[in-house]
Amino acid sequence: MKLVHLSDLHFPVELPFTSLKGKMIPGYLNYTFRRRKKYPISLWNAIVRKVKSLNPDAIVISGDITNVSHWKEYDESKKILEPVLGDKTFMIPGNHDRYTDLAAGKKGSDLPYYEKFFSPWMGESIPLQNGYLRIKKIGKLALVGWDSNMPLSVLNAYGYVGEEIVHSTLEYLEKEKLDQYILICHHPIWNPPERQESSGHKMKNREEIAEILKKRPPLAYLHGHVHTNWVKYPDPQKPYYVINSASSTRISDQKHQSGFHLMEWNKTELNIKRFSFSNEEGEFTETQTISYQEKETNGR
């Protein structure tokens, strides 16, 4: 079974400045002057070509398709994503997709924008008293989606997943006899030592979550949020792969080694390959995986 993992696509959608409100204004200005040129649509077109050639059994997108959660961003992003949307696709939101109360469905009883546009590719919603749990079954593998995001001030981008969601997830997997699963959440559960996050950017309770997951570890934890790739191999504290494919559509530079990963699972092991954009070839090509072993790091 082959799975492609994409994240933090941040599609370059131009917005009317007069339509922006509140934190969308500084957020869009930051995107326009600092980040937009780093996300040419040509890289997305190259990803589509490569994904089609890989012919995966599943395509996972772990959040941040938008920049400030504007309605027009969702409308345009759905059109851009159309070549990879189908029965194979599984999507979760990122913090930029829950940027405002309105987009996150916090005002009134309206659905969040992400659900309005992408529900067909978000998997089955598992009923809970509180919280978000989505699951998509592909063969004998379950893809499990969490939402770690919430509308925050413009200076914050931290995440949180309630422990009750983690317990509910493990109970559901046990009940449905789903032995093998991959967990998808936007915020990292681990960072390399040189990529540690501030308290305003990281997932607040990730060590508590990691402790609970030891009871029934996933094959892998897929995420984004930090815009450079890595793979952490299983260790006693986190006995599963931690795979970051952010930011798939960003031009690489000295601080951001961008791209995406292909996972090949043969029911006994997971083989991981990284693809990054080659300026010489104008395509995504297989490149060296940025990997971490337990002995190489004490990153938490």
Q: What is the pLDDT of residues 20-71, one digit of tens each?
A: 999 999 999 999 998 899 999 999 999 999 999 999 999 999 999 999 999 9
Q: What is the pLDDT of residue 109?
A: 58
- In tens, the pLDDT along 103-154 reads 998 876 588 999 999 999 999 999 887 889 999 999 889 999 999 999 999 8
Distance CA(201)–CA(273), nearest Å, equals 27
| Average pLDDT over all residues of the chain | 94
- In tens, the pLDDT along 255-298 reads 999 999 999 999 888 999 999 999 999 999 999 999 997 444 44
What are residue 5's phi and psi, to 5 degrees?
-115, 120
Q: What type of residue is 43? A: L
**Which tokens belong to 93?**
């939101």
Paired strand residues for 272: 263
Domain 2-292 sits in CATH at 3.60.21.10
In a 10 Å sphere around its CB, with 0-12 CB exposed, 13-18 middle and 19+ buried, how is residue 32 labelled?
middle
Alpha helices in 31-182 (DSSP H): 41-54, 71-81, 113-118, 163-175
Distance CA(249)–CA(262), nearest Å, equals 15
Going from N- to C-terminal start, the domains of the chain cover 2-292
Query: 159 in helix, strand or coil?
Result: strand
